[in-house]
C-alpha cells in the first residue's frame, strides 16, 4: 500500500516568512495529492490539491508543487500570518473514483510567531 512521509513534524517561522512542508510517497499509481489544514481543536479541511498532470498550483499565498519522478510534493506558504498556525496534512491517492482512499502523512505543526 501507499506510504506517505511528511517533514518537518514542527515548523516555527516569523510572521512574513515563507514556510515549506515536504511529503514523499511510495506508490507510483498515486496521482492526486490534497493538503488539509487543521486549526487547533477543529476538523481537517481541504485547502489545496494537485493532480499528476500539473507540476504546480497556486491559490493566493499557498502553492503546491509536484515531482512525480522523485515522488515528492510540497506545500509552500508565503507571507505567513498568525492565522496560518495549524497542523497541515498531506495525502496521496489514486485519482478519485471508487478507489479514492487517501493515505495521510503524520502532519506538520506550523507555528507563526507575530
Summarize as ranges the residues that interact with another protein (CB under 8 A): 32, 34, 42-46, 49, 89, 96-98, 100-107
Between 41 and 114, CB nearer to another protein: 41
**C-alpha 45: how far from chain center:** 12
Of 31, 9, 37, nearest to 21 by C-alpha is 9
Between 74 and 93, CB nearer to another protein: 93
Between 77 and 107, CB nearer to another protein: 107
Interacting residues of 112 by C-beta distance below 8 A, sequence separation 6+: 13, 14, 15, 19, 80, 81, 82, 83, 84, 85
Between 97 and 114, CB nearer to another protein: 97
The minimum distance between CB 27 and another protein, in angstroms, equals 15
For residues 98 and 114, give the distance between their C-alpha atoms in angstroms, rounded to a whole number.
Answer: 44
The minimum distance between CB 101 and another protein, in angstroms, equals 7
The minimum distance between CB 51 and another protein, in angstroms, equals 9
The minimum distance between CB 95 and another protein, in angstroms, equals 9
DSSP structure class, residue 8: -
User: Is residue 88 a contact partner of residue 25, using CB atoms and an 8 Å limit?
Assistant: no
Amino acid at each position: 500500500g501507499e506510504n506517505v512521509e511528511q517533514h518537518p513534524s514542527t515548523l516555527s517561522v516569523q510572521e512574513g516568512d515563507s514556510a515549506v512542508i515536504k511529503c514523499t510517497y511510495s506508490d507510483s499509481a498515486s496521482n492526486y495529492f490534497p493538503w488539509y489544514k487543521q486549526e487547533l481543536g477543529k476538523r481537517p479541511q481541504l485547502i489545496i490539491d494537485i493532480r499528476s498532470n500539473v507540476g504546480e498550483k497556486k491559490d493566493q499565498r499557498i502553492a503546491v508543487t509536484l515531482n512525480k519522478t522523485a515522488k515528492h510534493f510540497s506545500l509552500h506558504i508565503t507571507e505567513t500570518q498568525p492565522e496560518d498556525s495549524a497542523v497541515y496534512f498531506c495525502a496521496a491517492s489514486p485519482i478519485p473514483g471508487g478507489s479514492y482512499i487517501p493515505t495521510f502523512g503524520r502532519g506538520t505543526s506550523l507555528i507563526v510567531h507575530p
